[in-house]
Structure 1
């Protein structure tokens, strides 16, 4: 909870929070912090860490880790501006800070790659050599620790912390443990899930995700209440606004879309202030995507 900040409701009634945890700004290219231009937002958010947090609140030598979602989940299915994750990696390397990626929602094939962070340096900032944002090899940004759960078990409850070998070897016997850690059943389930995801479902999420994204972008062209469509693979968000110019949130419409879609046979959920998320199973077909788009549009037509 101390590092969660998407909604006040998630913290309400819980205290005290962990001292020494501070929040920066996520490089949201649609609603940019400080109203900067989208092409500048990554650097502005990185500068805030070094020029404000490190300079006035928490000196970098006292910082254990930077924790971030490669794609925000509860915050609104927000894909950060290109270069943001690479910039975080560079800051962490320079100051000896661990970089932790929370891939609980975005990981295990959902975005069309095994991990969402793999998109960062595989996109426009990388040429044939290295990333222009961080100078790293084309393999891209690599975290020190990854948190995974949800899709990792394919319906069986499991959570995992994945880290560099040298970090994991520092644990001494008895220093870390939990009652049900290493449960044979859930580990077997996760093993089978990973086999399916690696050999079939990641590619399907990328292909059908692109198909679904194109359909949603077509809806955006027809309906002014859709301010933004974003995401990767089968992790897509539709941001509803009262006015495209001001980008004022339309929370009521987003909630109504969620409730009315359920009545019409499609389960969706909101996230952020006014975003409806689409996160279907990775086995989704194009025919099922068409059905989802039809339900989504008919629901929207009934509400606007």
Structure 2
């Protein structure tokens, strides 16, 4: 079997990073139809929290599927889904105890925007340049990590405004971290003065750590500054924790790194260990304004995904996954800094926990998207899957399982360095 034999039956809209046809996966590894084994440092784009086919997740899925696959959560209740809602409310920060389950990240984004508008009765949404929130029309409207995601879709959802995120690409050249923080906060205040009155803004939606935009970590001062501005003007703060949340940064939720609690939080990707599941999480007070019928779902909260999600939480508790994220994240970051010292094409190492990235640049400082392409090809030739990020495609992100082992990181670093040596 070859992918090209079937390519004509698939829409080209879904970009394919490789032509591999995979038959099985276990932990950090995937096996293709030819029996070739690949080290997977992408993990479904940070979806498989515990790696491929974790035995406890598989057992939970199989056990639930034998009893009931779905009957729609808006018709009846499911024991595993009810249990999951309670368990999530126990680990989410602050008073974020009310949960609406859906299927994917973009769907959760749309839900969060609708909830904010329903509660505040205000029309406007503010998002950040560099952000990625999904590809539905609502999620695309608040996405600005690359213009290609928005091309041909105008006009989109109205009353949406953008301000810069404090990354090097979006701030004046030469600004240090503190200057970028101050600049971006002032740009938001300027937006209120010149473009949209704050009392017309329902919500500010942001990734506490940008994912697709380049794994950019802002300062605590910036995130707390956004929280303060929202509180001052009665604006709801939505945190998109779809990629950065669920243990990826070494905290259960990325917002905990900044000592900030949002008003609404979206979850996805890793929540169900590989099955499609997402959630909109907020306070009971805010959710009370989302009356029956104002939002809905056919498949959201299905019992098989919920059973898998409960198994993920079980393993988090039993194996102290967060401790592993911090230990292995520090180790991986140390190894990446060592590569940066040896290879001048690596211009930056950044991230928290196991949400890490390196950036490739040319000697003149211009983005090295072409360097990334060569590194990716060499890594794939040496049986490792990788993924880029950033508007210029010159970042390499690491999305290993949260239970990754030292020897697996060592193998990945060895393959990466072999690729760098060929340049």
Q: TM-score, normalised by structure 2?
A: 0.64
Calculate the aligned-residue CA RMSD, in Å: 1.3
- Shift, 1:27, TM fit: 1.2
Q: Which residue of 2 aligns with 1:26?
A: 165
Q: Which residue of 2 aligns with 1:298?
A: 418
Identify unmatched segments of 5+ residues in structure 1: 121-139
- Where in structure 2 are the equivalents of 1:69-80 lying within 5 Å? 69-80=207-218
Q: Which residue of 1 aligns with 2:176?
A: 37
- Shift, 1:78, TM fit: 0.8
Q: Which residue of 2 aligns with 1:251?
A: 369
Q: Distance in 2 between matches of 1:12 and 1:281?
A: 33
Identify unmatched segments of 5+ residues in structure 2: 1-139
- Shift, 1:187, TM fit: 1.5
- Shift, 1:235, TM fit: 1.0
SS in 1 for 2:301: coil
- Shift, 1:41, TM fit: 1.2
Q: Distance in 1 between matches of 2:297 and 2:170?
A: 40
Q: Distance in 2 between matches of 1:296 and 1:112?
A: 24
- Where in structure 2 are the equivalents of 1:58-207 lying within 5 Å? 58-120=196-258, 140-199=259-318, 200-207=320-327
Q: Does residue 341 of structure 2 align to residue 221 of structure 1?
A: yes
Residues 140-172 of structure 1, C-alpha deviation per residue, up to 9 Å, x if partnerless?
110011111111111110011111121112222
Evaluate the alpha carbon distance shift between residue 14 and residue 267 of structure 1 in structure 2; reply closer, same or farther with a 3 A threshold. Answer: same
Q: Which residue of 2 aligns with 1:210?
A: 330
Q: Which residue of 1 aligns with 2:379?
A: 261
- Shift, 1:11, TM fit: 1.6
Q: TM-score, normalised by structure 1?
A: 0.89
Q: Which has the higher contact order (CA 8 A, sep 6+)?
A: 2
Q: Which residue of 1 aligns with 2:85?
A: none
Q: Distance in 2 between matches of 1:12 and 1:211?
A: 40
Q: Does residue 191 of structure 2 align to residue 53 of structure 1?
A: yes
- Shift, 1:68, TM fit: 0.5
SS in 1 for 2:277: coil
Q: Distance in 1 between matches of 2:156 and 2:251?
A: 34
Q: Does residue 146 of structure 2 align to residue 7 of structure 1?
A: yes
